[in-house]
Amino acid sequence: MEIQSLLDSKRKLALTAEPPGPVVLSSRIRLARNLCDYPFPGWAKETQRRDILTMCEDAVAKIPEMEKGMVFEIDKLSELEKQVLVERHLISRELAANSQGAGVLISRDQACSVMVNEEDHLRIQLVNNGFQFRKIWKTIDRIDSGIESKLNLAFSQELGYLTACPTNVGTGMRASVMMHLPALVISNQMEKVIRAVNQLGIAVRGLFGEGSDASGSIFQISNQQTLGEAEADIIKRLSSVLNTIIEQEENARAKLLENDRIKLFDKMGRAYGTLQNGHLLSSAEAMNYLSLVRLAIDLNIIPEGERIRVDRMFMESQPGHIQYNVRRAIESDQRDVARATLLREQLRELPPLNFDNFVDS
């Protein structure tokens, strides 16, 4: 089963790739591109969508970065398989909901995915652990050029890349990071941060983009503007805002440790103890507890070497992964049992919390 090989190879990747950072989990850039000679996916007829899919698949598969990658046609995937791809951020919810002529190409290391016939003909995305825009931009720019050399893309000298939705016109670029901001959440500062950041044209969303909630204190933060600014400038402006947020999170952590250290230790301890011993865990509860365990790693209460395992638990305790693990759709309460079982077993392998090792910031 192909999806399974993807899950397995992700495991391998997670153990060898650059580690995710304490505040910035990962960075991502995506480019929206469209073919000249076809209507946008929303307007294209089914036969046209199929033509577009074939054409794009052929072109993208030839890019060196996509060598030995995977190709999925969305209408051939089960609901569960689609959900797993969504939870891994390899496809969007929108693509998963598309019925015909939609597909995705995923690079062997799962860093790059190219969706075909989502809102635009092509959505090229590249992700990397940590705060890595420069590196990502360099690679995705090369991938984009490779694709451009093989396909006739819709580009206007005046506007730049043309896209189905005007909010993407221009660079067609969205740069984003996943940030883990537990201290800002605990100290009730997130609302203030979101308001301030919004005013700078930067969007803050939950783990799954627009409309999703921020369980696990994980936020997706991205640029809004795509027009009238060069890619490098967008990234520079976004990075400067992100650096401010990192600083605010670090300040909030320092303040919590100064004023409410025992309360924070208590929260982390209870989270760890509940994950290690609970028998019923909802997805939101699991995320929130894992968030506190992740914070314990940042504070050296759990060894740094366990970060990859904990980040994997974030992934694997999501509803789709829980169900895919047993290869069938199961009800919410049964998922809570399966999730608790998985987390109990995983947490048993963590060492006990060691507050003596705590590193003051």
The binding site for its own copies (CB under 8 A) comprises 262-263, 265-266, 269-270, 272-280, 337, 340, 344, 348, 352-353
What is the rounded CA–CA span in Å between residue 140 and residue 66? 12
Whole-number minimum distance, CB 265 to its own copies, in Å?
4
What is the rounded CA–CA span in Å between residue 314 and residue 304? 16
Report the residue number, 147 or 340, with the smaller CB distance to its own copies.
340
Whole-number minimum distance, CB 356 to its own copies, in Å?
13
**Dihedral over Cα of 51, 122, 10, 67: its sign:** positive
With a CB cutoff of 8 Å and minimum separation 6, the contacts of 126 are 28, 29, 30, 111, 112, 136, 139, 140, 143
Whole-number minimum distance, CB 358 to its own copies, in Å?
12
Report the residue number, 166 or 273, with the smaller CB distance to its own copies.
273
Report the residue number, 37 or 266, with the smaller CB distance to its own copies.
266
Residue showing tokens 């043309």: 162
Kindly state the tokens that stand for 151.
Answer: 């396909």
Report the residue number, 77 or 293, with the smaller CB distance to its own copies.
293
Q: Which residues of 249-272 are buried (b: 16+ CB within 10 A; e: fewer)?
A: bbebbeebbeeeeeebbebbeebb
Whole-number minimum distance, CB 229 to its own copies, in Å?
48
Residue showing tokens 């638990």: 313
What is the rounded CA–CA span in Å between residue 67 and residue 196? 42
**Dihedral over Cα of 164, 159, 122, 26: its sign:** negative
What is the rounded CA–CA span in Å between residue 163 and residue 30? 13
Report the residue number, 140 or 350, with the smaller CB distance to its own copies.
350
Whole-number minimum distance, CB 83 to its own copies, in Å?
24
Report the residue number, 155 or 265, with the smaller CB distance to its own copies.
265
Whole-number minimum distance, CB 9 to its own copies, in Å?
33
Phi, psi (rounded to 5 degrees) for 218: -105, 130
Report the residue number, 58 or 333, with the smaller CB distance to its own copies.
333
Q: For residue 333, how many other CB atoms are within 10 A of its CB? A: 10
What is the rounded CA–CA span in Å between residue 83 and residue 186? 30
Helix (H, G, I), strand (E, B) or coil at 331: coil
Whole-number minimum distance, CB 297 to its own copies, in Å?
15
Report the residue number, 75 or 258, with the smaller CB distance to its own copies.
258
Report the residue number, 108 or 344, with the smaller CB distance to its own copies.
344
Kindly state the tokens that stand for 123.
Answer: 């959505």
Whole-number minimum distance, CB 273 to its own copies, in Å?
3
